[in-house]
Amino acid sequence: MRKDYKLEKRKYIIGGFVVLIALIYVFRLYSLQINDERYKESADNNAFLKKTIYPSRGLIKDRNGELVVYNQPAYDVMMIPRDVQPFDTVDFCNTLNITREQFDNRLIDMRRSPGYSTYTPQVLMTQLSAADYGRLQEKLYRYPGFFIQKRILRQYNYTAAANVLGNIREVSQADIERDSYYFRGDYIGDLGVERSYDEYLRGIKGQEILIRDAHGRIQGRYADGTKDIPAQSGRNLKLSLDINLQAYAESLMVNKIGAVVAIEPKTGEILAMVSSPTYDPTTLIGRARGQNYAALNADPLHPLFDRALMGAYPPGSTFKPGQGLILLQEDIITPQTAYPCYHGFISGGLKVGCHGHGSPLPLKPALQTSCNAYFCWGLKAMLDNHKKKYGSVANAFETWKLHLVSMGYGYRLGVDLPSEGRGFIPNAKFYNKIYGENRWSANTIISIAIGQGEILATPLQIANVCATIANRGWFITPHVVKEIEDTVMPAELLEKRYPTIDKAHYDVVAEGMRMAVTGGTCRLANLPDIEVAGKTGTAQNPHGKDHSAFIGFAPYDDPKIAVCVYVENAGFGATYGVPIGSLVIEKYLNGKISPARQYLEERMLNSNTIIYSGVKKH
Amino acid sequence: MESRNTKESIFKHLDWSVIVLYLLLVAAGVVSIYAASYDFDNASVFDFEEFSGKQIRWIGLSFFLGLVLLLVDSRMYETYAYPIYFGVLALLLVTIFIAPNIKGSHSWLVLGPMSLQPAEFGKFATALALAKLFSGYNFALNAAKINYVKAGAIIVAPILLILAQNETGSALVYLSLAFVLYREGMSGLVLYAFVFAIVAFVVTVKFTATAILGATTGQFVILMLIELTMIAMAAFHSKHPNAARMLGLWFGATLLIDVLLSLVGVHVPGLPYFITVIIIGAGYCVYEYLKTRIIKLWFIVAGALVAILFMFSVNYVFNSALQPHQQMRIKVALGIEDDPLKAGYNVNQAKIAIGSGGFSGKGFLEGTQTKLKYVPEQHTDFIFCTIGEEEGFVGSVAVIVLFLILILRVIAIAERQPSAFGRVYAYCVASYLILHLCINIGMVIGLCPVIGIPLPFFSYGGSSLWGFTVLLFILLRIDASRRNVRNY
């Protein structure tokens, strides 16, 4: 046969076609294998089921090592939607004790949630009861795609200190977006130290990598578990709180609205911090949490509102020791300076009433008797008669204000708890706005001299001033956590802070407070074996009966406790403030109440002042 | 005529490069099958209960078969080409009725412990018959129209029988013999029309979302392709450069006008505009015919009209003639539909397997996609996934290159055959290999629709391996004695 050379050339076309196809395929392989990382990820997502191992949450103990908060396991039912195969839904629902509707609704909720993916574990039901858990565990093999995730819930040894301890709740979408640690279904600290120390308490999650085949069956552990990451338990906390003192103080505050704050002056450690009415922290555990939380939220007495931290109260006469310090520091008075009191402060048609006592008085007896006139005259002297020193009323007022701020009034102290309030100390601008520039003087605003008027403070701030006087000139930022396991406490909770008052002036004020106990308004706090110094407060307020307040510290020469008691609408400071404050002091220092004072304890435990608050409970 | 037809001379003249390629591919195949079916319970390669062990047994039998085929006198293949062909056709026919229903297909003959797929043996038989037809005295494809009918009949008979067995994929393979007809003189236009039809189908179905000059991108591309084809046909087929120049000017000018109009904000509907332009171009070709009497100009006219009709019928065919699952497969393959859990699952998992291999792969037996059975049919049709995942880009390209070398080598062998019989047979082998490679690898990397045909020498299964072994060793035998063949 003759070779047809023309046709033979067609081998190049055919060969060329093959080469072209090969090149296209090589290019395609390049783009799949080298140019695109997503496939590697997809393959890993297919093959590796990453199961989170939850660390146990750090335990919380009190200052004496008493266990306060511990963990209890709970079980969540999880599902990986794409691994789920048709199953007996009726049996499944029966096992879990839910209706078909509940199950379907739960599925719909789950699909709607923002983190939904068919490839990753989704929370179907949280916090199974032990019985449900047991039943489901037995049948789990029938339901591929479902598994049980062990979680940690909290349990409490005491019903006290709910406001300090806080609790845990399921994370919100905002939590997830804010902190990459969290995934849907995780728990996060809510309120109290659970919130503020969450990063220490929560620990570090571990990861178990399992190999999963196309049917969703687990084929074993990846690399024999060598690539697994063990969970690291959260750090334990040691509170500065004395849980027994806390419980005692709470019992004294039963049926009262208000707060008690007890601080160890030398360390700034909060020994007790009561907000009343309070609640039982165990009601916020587990599945009942939502309902109980809503009920607490709706309670007209606002038990979730931490009055010790957030309450803004007129300090009343508990403000006077601080006033004395400022007047001494500014050389407005000396300890010998005496001011008259004609049953009150009378100036230019203005009268601030006072009760019967000798006149004129120097500072110490003025504190002892809680003389209103003295401090009004003092403030008037500072604002009106010293224009040469300050130039103007406004400047004098600003000086006064800065001293208060240095004592911790007007701004957040920086306690290691969430949502601290800041109270309120007005500045000159504030009054300029109300009265007009240079249109106000001491007389216009005289009630602030006795802790009334615009002045507002939190019980924590008031207690802190008391601790400062106990220390004769310094304080440490109050805090509720004494130790974090294996961690150094933050420096700002250990450093001394000095108000702008010379140390020398404190003794005068402290002596005045001592006199108030030995022979003044606080005589009920005069314990036979403990030298207490104190100051009452009776604060007028627009809500009804006066608030009853007390600050005090003891022992006088070596203070171990400084207390602030604030009872809303309970009348004179001496009626509720002093008894409660002195009982807390006695209980803390002596461990018991002397028989002679048990009548007082009895009276406090059984009295009810909520009736004066105007709030109708339910 | 230096040697006689003895065993010794056969082995001396054997094309050892093909044998080496064959051994490499088969060995790589066993390793891949072992990897693809490897379980955590760690079985042995030689365990005859395992796929790899069974494949080794198939390979052993293949070697024996290959040796036997080499020992047969090469003239026997030519002599018995038709009896073999009709014998296999009969077998295919019988299979339709006696084969059990396996996943809807009646293509497996169960013989005791093993089952065979006669369709795989239809390939070599059809190749022999086609070679025999072309080796007739003074046979030339273009000499008479009847030759096309004869060749077509030889190709279509097994296709029909295999379609009757419900093995669409295997039937499609025979269409690759169009390459052989092309090599033997069939007009390149037919091949071009073939490729054009596939491209036009894909492009019109796929690119409907965007528009260029008032037509969908797909339609625009096809219209431009028709215009270019008309110009090229006028220049190279009709050998009428003047007509080509005129058509070029006409199409260029009309395109330019449309672009300018759209720039000034006048938007002409693209489809009727360009169709009118093309029909006027066709009319010009008729005019040129009347002037020059160049018959071939009519091809341009017919081609243009058929192409336009085809373009319009694609949507109809796609939406009406194809079954929903076929539409879905095509859409998934073309990347129109993304349906990773249903129709696209296989392809998607295959792509994940290959894509996750990276440059150098995850390492032998380290592929998670294949070990954990995410890829379906991974030891048979999707075997390439295992290579892609475990051996990466390097391994995948190596396999493609091995096949490329083999195919080019077979083409070279074809062209050195002194007889039409040898040449046509060799081109048949090359054509089968090209189609298998194109479709099998194309589908696992998501470039072709999923059509279940094996990767030659790699995919698990005796029938496929034997089928290709027989094809290749008969070629080697014919090639070894090419010097003994007298030129007619």
DSSP A62-118: -TT--EEEEEEEEEEEEE-GGG-----HHHHHHHHT--HHHHHHHHHHHHHSTT--S
Residue of B nearest to A20 (CA): B404
> Does the beta-carbon distance from A34 to B358 stay under 8 Å?
yes
Residue A160 sits in a domain whose CATH number is 3.90.1310.10
For B206, the token pair is 């796929």
DSSP A55: P
- How does DSSP classify residue B454? P
Per-residue pLDDT at A230 exceeds 80: yes
pLDDT band at B2, cuts 50/70/90?
very low
* B365 has a chain A CB within 8 A of its CB: no
Let me know if residue A417 belongs to a domain. Answer: yes
Q: Are residues A205 and A349 in the same domain?
A: no
Chain A residues in contact with B392 (beta carbon < 8 A): 33
Q: Does A508 have pLDDT greater than 50?
A: yes
Residue B136 near chain A (CB below 8 Å): no
DSSP A444: G
Whole-number pLDDT of residue B345 = 75
* Better pLDDT: B148 or B339: B148
pLDDT value at A416 more than 60: yes
Burial of A206 (0-12, 13-18, 19+ CB in 10 A): middle
Q: Which of residues 244-263 of B touch A (CB under 8 A)?
A: none
* Shortest alpha-carbon distance between residue B90 and chain A (Å): 32
Burial class, B148, CB count within 10 angstroms (exposed 0-12 / middle 13-18 / buried 19+):
middle
Furthest-apart CA atoms within chain B: distance in Å:
81
Per the domain annotation, does A246 fall within a domain?
no
* The last residue of a domain, from among A206, A239, A272: A239
Which CATH number covers residue A376?
3.40.710.10
The most confident of the ranges A51-55, A207-211, A588-592, B308-312 is: A588-592
What ipTM, to 2 d.p.? Answer: 0.88
CA distance A272 to A495: 21
- Whether the CB of B207 is below 8 Å from some CB of chain A: the reply is no
Q: CA B454 to CA B106: how far, in whole Å?
A: 17
Q: Does B190 contact chain A (CB < 8 Å)? A: no
By Cβ distance, the residue of A1, A19, A214 closest to B374 is: A214
Cβ–Cβ of B372/A219 closer than 8 Å? yes
Residue A420 lies in a domain: yes
Which residue, among B368, B415, B441, would best test binding to A if mutated, counting the most A CBs under 10 Å from its CB? B368
Of the residues A239, A256, A291, the one at which a domain ends: A239
B172 inside 8 A of chain A by CB? no
Residue among A236, A263, A554 at smallest CA distance from A413: A263
Residue B393 touches partner A, C-beta closer than 8 Å = yes
Exposure string (b/e) for B438-466, b if CB count within 10 Å is 16 or more?
Answer: bbbbbbbbbbbbbbbbbbbbbbbbbbbbb
Neighbours of B97 (CB within 10 A): 9
Neighbour-count burial of B364, counting CB atoms closer than 10 A to its CB (0-12 exposed, 13-18 middle, 19+ buried): middle
B353 touches chain A (CB under 8 A): yes
User: Is pLDDT of B8 > 70?
Assistant: no
Residues of A in contact with B178 (CB under 8 A): none
Please tell me the predicted confidence (pLDDT) of residue A296. 93
The answer, yes or no, to whether residue A587 has pLDDT greater than 50, is yes
Under an 8 A CB cutoff, do A39 and B351 touch? yes
Q: For residue A421, which of A281, A300, A259 has the smallest C-alpha distance?
A: A259
Average pLDDT (A599-618) is 82
On whether both A405 and A515 belong to a single domain, the answer is yes
Q: Which of A197, A216, A239 is the last residue of a domain?
A: A239
Q: Specify whether the CB–CB gap between A135 and A97 falls below 8 A.
A: no
Cβ of A43 and B352 within 8 Å?
yes
Q: State the pLDDT at residue B9.
A: 67
Q: How confident is the model at residue B47, as a pLDDT?
A: 60
DSSP H helices, B416-449, are 420-444
Task: Report chain A residues whose CB lies below 8 A from the CB of B373.
Answer: 213-215
Q: Looking at the predicted structure, is the pLDDT value of residue A51 above 90?
A: no
Name the band, by pLDDT with cuts 50, 70 and 90, for residue B335. Answer: low
Instruction: Inspect the interface and report whether the beta carbons of A18 and B434 lie closer than 8 Å.
Output: yes
pLDDT (average), residues B100-119: 80
Shared domain for A212 and A329, answered yes or no, is no
Number of H helices, E strands in chain B: 20, 4
How confident is the model at residue B462, as a pLDDT? 86
pTM over 0.95: no
- Give how far B435 is from chain A: nearest CA, Å: 10
Is the same domain home to A231 and A325? no
| Statement: residue B316 has pLDDT above 80 | no
Residues of chain A contacting B, Cβ within 8 Å: 1, 4, 7-8, 10-11, 13-15, 17-19, 21-22, 24-26, 28-30, 32-34, 36, 38-40, 42-44, 46-48, 82, 211-215, 219-220
Q: Do A47 and B374 touch (CB under 8 A)?
A: yes
Confidence of residue B42 (pLDDT cuts 50, 70, 90): low
Provide the mean pLDDT of chain B. 86
Residue percentage of chain A with pLDDT more than 90: 58
Residue A271 reports pLDDT greater than 90: yes
How many interface pairs between A and B have CB atoms less than 8 angstroms apart?
128
CB of B283 within 8 Å of any CB in chain A? no
Does the distance separating the beta carbons of B393 and A29 come in below 8 Å? yes
**Residue A618 has what pLDDT?**
44
Find out whether the peptide bond into A303 is cis, omega within 30 degrees of 0: no
Q: Does B184 touch chain A (CB under 8 A)?
A: yes
Are the beta carbons of B438 and A21 separated by less than 8 Å? yes
- Residue B328's DSSP bridge partners are none
Interface test with A, best of B387, B404, B441 (most A CBs within 10 A): B404
Q: How many Å apart are CA B378 and CA B444, to the nearest integer?
A: 10
Pick from A1, A8, A26 the residue to mutate for testing the B interface (most B CBs within 10 Å): A1
CA-CA distances (angstroms) from residue B235 to B179, B224, B232, B248, B301? 24, 17, 5, 10, 14
Instruction: Look up tokens 């055919």; give the residue.
Output: A14
Query: What is chain A's alpha carbon radius of gyration, rounded to the nearest angstrom?
Result: 34
Whether A184 shows a pLDDT value over 60: the answer reads: yes
**φ/ψ of residue A67, rounded to 5:** -70, 125
Residue A218 placed within a domain: yes
Q: CB contact, 8 Å: B351 with chain A?
A: yes
Chain A positions in Cβ-Cβ contact with residue B401 (cut-off 8 Å): 22
Q: What is the average per-residue pLDDT within A457-479?
A: 96
- Please measure the distance between the N-terminal and C-terminal CA atoms of chain B and give it in whole angstroms: 15
pLDDT above 50 (res B3): no
Q: B169-190: per-residue pLDDT in tens?
A: 888 899 899 999 999 988 888 8
Banded pLDDT at A264 (limits 50, 70, 90): very high
Secondary structure class of A414 (helix, strand, coil): coil
| Residue with more model confidence, B309 or B446 | B309
Q: Does B83 touch chain A (CB under 8 A)?
A: no
Question: Which residues between 6 and 65 in chain B have a beta carbon less than 8 angstroms from any beta carbon of chain A?
Answer: 40
pLDDT at B341: 52
Q: Do B404 and A15 touch (CB under 8 A)?
A: no
A416 shares its domain with A538: yes
The first and second tokens of residue A33, run together, are: 């294998």
**Do residues A228 and A377 both lie within one domain?**
no
CB contact under 8 A, A34 and B374: no
Which range, of A499-513, B25-39, B341-355, B433-447, averages the lowest pLDDT?
Answer: B341-355
Alpha carbon distance A453, A446 (integer Å)? 8
A203 in a domain, yes or no?
Answer: yes
Say yes or no to pLDDT of B461 above 90. no
With respect to residue A140, please indicate whether it lies within any of the assigned structural domains.
Answer: yes
Same domain, A223 and A340: no
Report CA-CA distances (Å) from A271 to A390, A411, A484, A567, B401. 41, 22, 17, 19, 80
Helix (H) or strand (E) holding A169: strand A167-170
Q: How far apart are CA A565 and CA A252, in angstroms?
A: 11
Average pLDDT for A315-336: 94
Averaged over B143-163, what is the pLDDT?
92
**Does residue A54 belong to any structural domain of this protein?**
yes
CB contact under 8 A, B397 and A26: yes
Query: Reduced to 3 states, what is the DSSP secondary structure of residue A299?
Result: coil
Looking at the structure, tell me whether residues A316 and A207 fall in a common domain.
Answer: no
What integer pLDDT is reported at residue A42 of this predicted model?
Answer: 83
The secondary element (H helix, E strand) that includes residue A132 is helix A130-139
Length of chain B: 488
Strand partners, B461: none
What long-range pairs does B29-35 form, CB within 8 A, spacing at least 24? B29/B55, B29/B383, B29/B457, B29/B458, B29/B459, B29/B465, B30/B55, B30/B56, B30/B59, B31/B364, B32/B383, B32/B386, B32/B387, B32/B458, B33/B379, B33/B383, B33/B458, B33/B460, B35/B364, B35/B365, B35/B367, B35/B370, B35/B386, B35/B390
**Same domain assignment for residues A216 and A323:** no
Do A314 and A235 sit in the same domain of this protein?
no
Which SS3 state, helix, strand or coil, does residue B192 take?
helix
CA B175-B177-B178 angle, 5° bins: 80
Is the CB of residue B397 less than 8 Å away from at least one CB of chain A?
yes
By Cβ distance, the residue of A1, A22, A219 closest to B40 is A219
Q: Contact B420/A1, CB-based, under 8 Å?
A: yes
**Yes or no, beta carbons of B356 and A48 under 8 Å apart:** no
Torsion of the alpha carbons at B443, B445, B446 and B450, rounded to the nearest 10: 20
Average of pLDDT values for A87-116? Answer: 85
Ranges A241-255, A447-461, B351-365: which has the least confidence: B351-365
- Lowest mean pLDDT: which of A297-301, A354-358, B17-21? A354-358
The first and second tokens of residue B77, run together, are 């293949």
Residue at A106 is within a domain: yes
pLDDT digits (tens, 9 = 90+) for B381-419: 889 999 999 999 999 999 999 999 999 999 999 999 999
Binary contact (A18, B393; C-beta < 8 A) = no
**Exposure string over B304-341, b if 16+ CB within 10 A, otherwise e:** beebbebbeebeeebeeeeeeeebbbbbbbbeeeeeee
Mean pLDDT score, A212-223 = 75
Number of domains in chain A: 2
Q: Residue B399 has what pLDDT?
A: 96
Q: Over 90: is that where the pLDDT of A551 sits?
A: yes
pLDDT of residue B1: 39
Burial zone of A159 (CB within 10 Å; 0-12 exposed, 13-18 middle, 19+ buried): middle
Domain that residue A417 falls in: 310-477+486-578
Q: Using a CB-CB distance cutoff of 8 angstroms, which residues of chain A are in contact with residue B388?
A: 29, 32-33
Work out the average pLDDT over A311-321. Answer: 94
**Which residues of chain B from 297 to 326 reach within 8 Å of chain A, CB to CB?**
none
Two tokens at B459?
């995919």
Measure CA B465 to chain center.
Answer: 17
Same domain for A321 and A208: no
